[in-house]
Amino acid sequence: MIELRDYQKKAVESLKSKVQNVLNTPDNEVVIFQAPTGSGKTVMVSEMLKQLVKENHKRYSFVWVSVRMLHEQSKEKLEKYYEDDRLIQCSYFEDLDDRQIGENEILFINWHSINKKDINIYVRENEQDNNLNAIIQNTKEEGREIILIIDESHHTASSEKSKELIETIGPKVTIEVSATPHLKENVSEIERVHISQVKAEEMIKSEIAVNPEFMDIKIGSKSSDELIIEQTLKKRVELAKFYEKEGSNINPLVLVQLPDQKGNLINKKDDVVKILKDKFKITEENGKLAVWLSEEKTDNLANIDKNDNEVEVLVFKQAIALGWDCPRAQILVIFRESKSFTFTIQTIGRIMRMPELKYYNEEDLNKGYVFTNLPNIEITEDYAKDYVTIYEAKRDSKLYKEISLPSIFLKRQRERTRLSGKFGDIFMKVAEEINLQKKITTKPSRTVSPIIADGRIVNIDQLGEIERKGQIEVQLNLTELQQLFDKFIADNCTPYAPADSSDRMKTAIYNFFTQKYKLRKFDPQAQRIVLGKENVQAFVDIINIAKERYKKEVVEKINEKREKKEIPKWEVPVIISYNSRYSKEEHPTSIMKPFYTKKPSEPERKFIELLNKSKKVKWWFKNGETEIKYFAVPYIDENGFERAFYVDFIVQFTDGSIGLFDTKGGMTAKDAGSRAEGLQKYLKKNKDKKVWGGIAIFVNGTWRYNDKETYEYNLNDLSSWKILDII
């Protein structure tokens, strides 16, 4: 069972709304869903289709088109995703009944099986009426609207081919799913997942470093190929040790991409294999090397995606890139080609995923690495620009002395608002304790739906129930039974969010019936037993007891074992990497050399000017946000929750004191109360470190800062704010 992350839930809701907007118009239009590699595009689209089917009264059929063998992977993923409620059926051509796509059925198609001339797909030889055109026509004649999903559209033959397919199918809505979409005509809605959202949920690497720390390398007589492979394997060993230190059994994998030059391909492969064997003892024979080429595939590829697989290096050609998912792949080697090389989100997509969907304490494990002997790399897409780090700033080791400031890092908590996997274990324990089996019957009364019989309205202005002779009771079919069961689960999730917790509760109940009654998972009989009038109260009671136990054992203990990391001796990072959106600026007293900036706010820019002019400043550091490598102090927000405050500047003064300043202006200064007070508590607690500072503002040509324990900001009365006299 897949638990959606926060950004995924928001994207699903927004995408569904945009698709519904198009469904309610008279035109056939395109909805773009743009999301980076590793964000879970397939999962989000799957959930959106499920919600669409649940909430709409129209009848839909779906066509899902993917490239190469991705349609098989997509079908497999969706079938697994839909197995709980069976609302949507996934099919190939040979699975279709009556040569049509059924209601709530998805037909999966491979782009490369589509005839380029007329987009006719023949399922069986000589059956002229069993092609895509005929199937679409039959489906529409049954009164169903067709929704077309074009998956990984950036890999289709061309946007022209996509347009031709759209014209042939005539879907009510086309959803183009891609990191880099290219449909331009009839686009009415665009839903975009930003890469920063995916990183915040720790799904993908925080950045991709290219040739890190190469400026200090001693080259000697090595060839560029030898140098690149040497540095690559050195980094791989370093990462493996870090994983061991973290207690993870992950064996980081190096991907070696051979140049896409047919004449030179074999020679380059042989050269690489020879270097790996002679200098590093990495061979196919000892299981550490694997090869994946169209003309050669080694026998050890089967389980290469497993986290603890022994293969350390995989040599491949470009074709492996698509649809291949191996989260332990962390380093990519790219050799020089005769043609110019451009970096795309697909290039780095192979090393973007986090192997355990979480960030580690050791920051290097949260990065991907590219080692290359290319002289230059052009980054073609905005997504890649946000992701690939090509600049490095280093801490000035001659100027810097350890400051050992206490800092904190807070990770997200989810157990407060949603049931986690621990609920299932608690449910089973409670079921044993109260002997649930003895409280229920496996042959309850029929689950029926009451229907009003022989009613009439005499006075339309009279409130209350209408006159009727009675009710008739009709047994629920499987779909109605599923819907009633879903409602029962959702109603009993409170106070936990049903969208996040329903699946956990369902799984707990299904597991009970599997263990105690040997019912297969998702058997409708389990739903009938739960909903039977003789049993339903017993299940409400056990759910409530399990939720109370969950609150005590999980939620209330979060504060004790909260994902909060204390950093007792924080130091300015030794190295910080930056992507191509950053630019270099000359600032002599910046501790990071060189200094890179994206676009400082006006207060930040003016504060840097002040620091550069000051003779009292030894060095200053422009702090970052949200990552463990940056400095943060704790504070309590207006809702009583502990948060991390990343102050803008850490300043080392010549007298040995350390200034912590956060620059504000206008409304941002007015709303800084809880952060300001948290900072002052921190300063008071750590006064032995000679720290001082506060919120800083620039008013009427003067810098002032607030160091009061109770924060007050009134632009007309700044008498309580001190002059920041550091010139």
Task: Report the residue count for the chain.
Answer: 727
CA distance linking residue 119 with residue 168, whole number of Å: 8
DSSP 101-152: PPTTEEEEEEGGGS-TTT----SSTT-TTSSHHHHHHHHHHTT-EEEEEEET
Least confident of 231-240, 284-293, 368-377: 368-377
pLDDT of residue 262 exceeding 60: no
Q: What percent of the chain has pLDDT over 90?
A: 40
Nearest to 509 by CA among 496, 500, 495, 522: 522
Residue bearing tokens 């009993």? 492
In whole angstroms, what is the distance from residue 216 CA to residue 234 CA? 15
Of 16-30, 175-189, 383-397, 495-509, which has the strongest mean pLDDT? 16-30
Reported confidence tier of residue 457, pLDDT bands at 50, 70, 90: very low
303-316 tens-digit pLDDT = 888 999 999 999 98
Q: How buried is 341 (Cβ within 10 angstroms: 0-12 exposed, 13-18 middle, 19+ buried)?
A: middle
* DSSP type of residue 564: E
Query: Over the stretch 72-96, which tens digit does the pLDDT of each residue have?
Result: 677 777 877 777 767 888 888 888 8
Mean pLDDT of 617-643: 90
CA atoms in the 13 A half-sphere facing the CB of 372: 23
Q: How far is residue 336's CA from residue 267's CA, in Å, rounded to a whole number?
A: 14
For the domain made up of 578-723, give the CATH fold: Trna Endonuclease; Chain: A, domain 1 (3.40.1350)
Topology of domain 207-395, CATH: Rossmann fold (3.40.50)
- Per-residue confidence (pLDDT) for residue 579, from 0 to 100: 78
Query: Which pLDDT tens digit goes with each residue over 208-232?
Result: 888 887 766 777 777 788 888 999 9
How far apart CA 551 and CA 559 sit, in angstroms, is: 12
Residue 375's contacts (CB-CB under 8 Å, 6 or more residues apart) are 336
Cβ neighbours of residue 342 under 8 Å, at least 6 residues apart?
377, 378, 379, 380
What is the pLDDT averaged over residues 637-653? Answer: 90
Average pLDDT, the chain: 83
Segment 571-590 shows an average pLDDT of 90
Nearest to 388 by CA among 329, 447, 345: 345
Instruction: Please report the DSSP string for 304-344 in residue order.
Output: TTSTT-S--EEEE-GGGGTT---TTEEEEEE---SS--EE-
Residue 450 bridge partners (DSSP): 473
Q: End-to-end alpha-carbon separation of the chain, Å? A: 60
Q: What is the pLDDT of residue 421?
A: 81
pLDDT, residue 471, reads 56
Please check the confidence at residue 561 and state whether its pLDDT lies above 50: no
407-453 per-position pLDDT tens digit: 999 876 655 678 888 899 999 999 999 999 999 999 888 766 555 44
Q: How far apart are CA 419 and CA 1, in angstroms?
A: 13
Q: What is the pLDDT of residue 322?
A: 46
Mean pLDDT, residues 662-677:
89
142-163 tens-digit pLDDT: 989 999 998 865 454 455 677 7
Name the residue with higher pLDDT: 132 or 315: 315
Query: CATH topology for 6-193?
Result: Rossmann fold (3.40.50)
Per the model's pLDDT, the better-predicted residue between 108 and 692 turns out to be 692
Q: At 42, which helix (H) or strand (E)? A: helix 41-55
Using a 10 angstrom Cβ sphere, with 0-12 exposed, 13-18 middle and 19 or more buried, the burial of residue 559 is exposed
Report the pLDDT value the prediction gives residue 259, as an integer from 0 to 100.
Answer: 78
pLDDT given for residue 234 in this prediction: 93
Q: Say whether 578-723 and 207-395 share the same fold.
A: no
Where are the domains positioned within the chain? 6-193, 207-395, 422-455+467-559, 578-723
Its pTM stands at: 0.60
| Contact assessment for residue 501 and residue 415, using Cβ atoms and an 8 Å cutoff | no
Residue 252: pLDDT over 70: yes
Report CA 27 to chain centroid distance, whole Å: 33
Mean pLDDT computed over 352-380: 83
Q: With 50 as the cut, is the pLDDT of residue 119 above it?
A: no
